[in-house]
């Protein structure tokens, strides 16, 4: 038999080890909670950077697929941050940087500028996204001022895929999207994953379409999604719980 003192010492060591593991697990879970949305923003950023590389190598279909993935990630990261109560200034800056990279720079490269005028159009598109992200704030809860750039990007990508890369039509569409983004008209904060059940199902359908279905089906799905938000923003997509 062990002496009582040694038994008590073993018990104390076991207790300390157990409490230490619990504290470590708690810190890990807290770190995950605080950074889950940031992780989605980083994934969006990586998708945008990868899309840029694909466009520079003229692999435009791969670039479009990555932009649609970024569209879905962007809709998810805000919902995750609010659900986990992990909104922060750093997270907001990271999200804006990822959005500009993916929905500004990477999307503008789909315009394939070859001349000075075409280059100016690409720059104008990026500046419209920049203005939309940095300067168009509202004092109205759950409301955007100007068309959110992920929807403009999704519409451009879908147009590109459905028209087999018709650059002329894409550039015309980009000009229209610039006008929508710089206009100060109001758009609702859709909160797809925090609203009615049908919106969550619609989002899940988008995930299935982008990840598993042919590009034509995915692009048609996202085109209908984007057009419905642009034309009927409050009638369909206002964030009713």
pLDDT tens figures, 173-192: 999 999 999 998 899 988 88
pLDDT at 6: 56
- What span, in angstroms and rounded, lies between the C-alpha atoms of 124 and 119? 9
pLDDT at 88: 77
Residue 21 — very low, low, confident or very high, per pLDDT cuts 50/70/90?
Answer: low
How many CB atoms within 10 Å of residue 9?
12
Which H or E element spans position 72? helix 60-83
How many CB atoms within 10 Å of residue 55?
23
pLDDT of 18 > 70? The answer is: no
The winner for highest mean pLDDT among 33-37, 83-87, 221-225 is: 221-225
Name the nearest CA neighbour of 77 among 59, 60, 96. 96
Instruction: Provide the residue ranges of all domains of the chain, joining segments of one domain with +.
Output: 7-237
Lowest mean pLDDT among 16-30, 112-126, 168-182, 187-201: 16-30
Phi, psi of 143 (to 5 degrees): -135, 135
Going by C-beta distance under 8 Å and a sequence separation of 6 or more, which residues neighbour residue 11? none
- What span, in angstroms and rounded, lies between the C-alpha atoms of 78 and 86? 10
CA torsion angle 117 121 126 132 (round to 10): 140
- Which CATH number applies to 7-237? 1.20.120
- What span, in angstroms and rounded, lies between the C-alpha atoms of 156 and 137? 24
The interaxial angle of helices 215-231 and 60-83, nearest 10 deg, is 50
Longest dimension (CA), the chain: 90
pLDDT of 141 > 70? The answer is: no
């Amino acid at each position: 038999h062990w002496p009582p003192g040694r038994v008590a010492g073993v018990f104390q060591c076991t207790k300390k080890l157990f409490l230490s593991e619990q504290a470590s697990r708690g810190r890990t879970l807290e770190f995950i909670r605080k950074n889950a949305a940031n992780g989605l923003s980083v994934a969006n950023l990586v998708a945008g950077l990868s899309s840029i590389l694909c466009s520079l190598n003229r692999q435009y279909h791969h670039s479009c697929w990555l932009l649609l993935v970024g569209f879905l990630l962007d809709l998810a990261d805000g919902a995750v941050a609010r659900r986990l109560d992990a909104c922060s200034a750093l997270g907001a800056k990271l999200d804006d940087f990822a959005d500009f990279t993916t929905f500004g720079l990477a999307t503008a490269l789909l315009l394939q500028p070859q001349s000075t005028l075409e280059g100016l159009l690409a720059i104008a598109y990026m500046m419209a996204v920049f203005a939309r992200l940095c300067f168009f704030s509202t004092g109205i809860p759950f409301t955007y001022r100007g068309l959110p750039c992920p929807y403009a990007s999704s519409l451009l990508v879908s147009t590109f895929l459905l028209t087999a890369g018709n650059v002329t039509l894409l550039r015309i569409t980009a000009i229209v999207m610039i006008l929508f983004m710089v206009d100060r008209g109001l758009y609702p904060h859709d909160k797809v994953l925090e609203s009615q059940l049908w919106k969550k199902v619609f989002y899940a359908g988008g995930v299935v379409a982008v990840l598993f279905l042919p590009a034509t089906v995915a692009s048609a799905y996202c085109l209908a999604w984007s057009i419905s938000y642009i034309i009927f923003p409050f009638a369909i997509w206002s964030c009713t719980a």
